[in-house]
Amino acid sequence: MVTTNMRSQRLPAIDFLRGLAMIIMALDHVRLYFGHGNWYSDPTNLETTTPALFFTRWITHFCAPIFVFLAGTSAFLYGSKQSSTKPLALFLFTRGLWLIFAELVIVNFAWTFDITFSYIILQVIWAIGISMLVLSALVFLPTKIIALIGLILVFGHNLLDSIKAFGAFPKDILWYILHQEHVLYVGKSTVIAHYPALPWIGLIALGYAMGTFYTQNFDEEKRKRRLLQIGISAITLFLLLRGFNLYGEPNPWTSQSSSDVTKFIDIYSPIFSQHNKISTITSFSPHDYRTSTGLFSIE
């Protein structure tokens, strides 16, 4: 782990990005809770949505990855101020346990208002908690190795899509937690592993590695140039992979009727559409089987 001391002040760019993601997420949750009929309709259903509603929902796909990635960056910055790696590892481990508890108890109750916890959804707070637990072990490795692990998990986890589990044995439950969205029945409770953790572990590892860009001996202009290069490369790669249905998305493009919404998207958003075909992008989780035009599958 790099132990170069960081400046005491906060980094405005990171705070701004995290705050922007929170605003977008809040917008989406307010729409869900207070919009008329939104519990029973999909804002990306092209038969019923509007252009503004479609894009305010679509853009929320950035929120969870930003939170997890920046959690890794923040972990690096915290660790750089410590005299050794052990305090960082302990912090990540205890914070991960707290986030898992918060998801199971506080967040689930806030969503369902069910004091019996008969319906439990393991979502992004759970995924961040699991990722922090794993990162608490990874931080003892060299940063370059952590970056390599992150790249392998982010770019390679879809190679595991053909591996399916259907039972309730410990190995099956572990697979649901790591990679396969699934519904479990525990006593009288229904538990949905909605955010499989494997790609999120990769994201938090990459975020941790990016923290090296913010050490005092890293030139500011070089950092900006590197971030711009990585950002452009990532967007270009996404467009190529998604545009040609090459890899990483289990749901291919689907043809839609020629409505005002699809015409609007065709005209103003060629990134997301081509020849009256709208790209469906797997929603929220980087590896679940819910598309942006439907609910999650229950196996």
For residue 147, pLDDT over 70 is answered with yes
Mean pLDDT in residue range 82-105:
95
Q: Return the percent helix, strand and coil in the chain, to nearest 5.
A: 60, 5, 35
- Please determine, for residue 65, whether its predicted confidence score (pLDDT) is greater than 70: yes
| 122 to 27, 58, 143, 193, 270: CA distances (angstroms) | 21, 21, 29, 5, 34
| Residue 147, in any domain of the structure | yes
Q: Does 299 map to a domain?
A: no
Bridge partners of residue 255, in order along the sequence: 277
> Is residue 266 included in any domain, yes or no?
yes
- Note whether residue 293 is domain-resident: no
Interstrand relation of 254-255 and 182-186 (parallel, antiparallel or unpaired) = unpaired
Instruction: Give the separation between CA 150 and CA 135, rounded to whole angstroms.
Output: 10
Per DSSP bridges, beta strands 189-193 and 273-274 are: unpaired
Given this model, what pLDDT does residue 268 score? 42
* Structure confidence by residue, pLDDT tens digits, 248-284: 877 777 666 655 555 555 544 444 433 333 344 554 4
**Considering its fold, how many domains does the chain have in total?**
1
β-pair partners for 184: 191
Average pLDDT over residues 9-13: 81
Q: Supply the pLDDT for residue 281.
A: 53
- The answer to the question of residue 156 being in a domain is yes
Tell me what pLDDT residue 295 has: 27
Contact 286, 249 (CB under 8 A): no
**Nearest alpha carbon to residue 283 among 274, 273, 271, 294:** 294
Which of 104-118, 153-167, 206-220, 251-265 shows the lowest per-residue confidence on average (mean pLDDT)? 251-265
Q: How confident is the model at residue 203 (pLDDT cuts 50, 70, 90)?
A: very high
Task: Judge contact between 198 and 287, C-beta under 8 A.
Answer: yes
Residues 12-32 pLDDT 10s:
889 999 999 999 988 888 887
Domain membership of residue 232 (yes or no) is yes
How many CB atoms are closer than 10 A to CB 200? 33
Kindly report, residue by residue over 174-197, the tens digit of the pLDDT: 999 999 888 888 888 898 888 899
Domain-embedded: residue 36: yes
pTM: 0.81
- Full domain range(s) for residue 106: 12-278
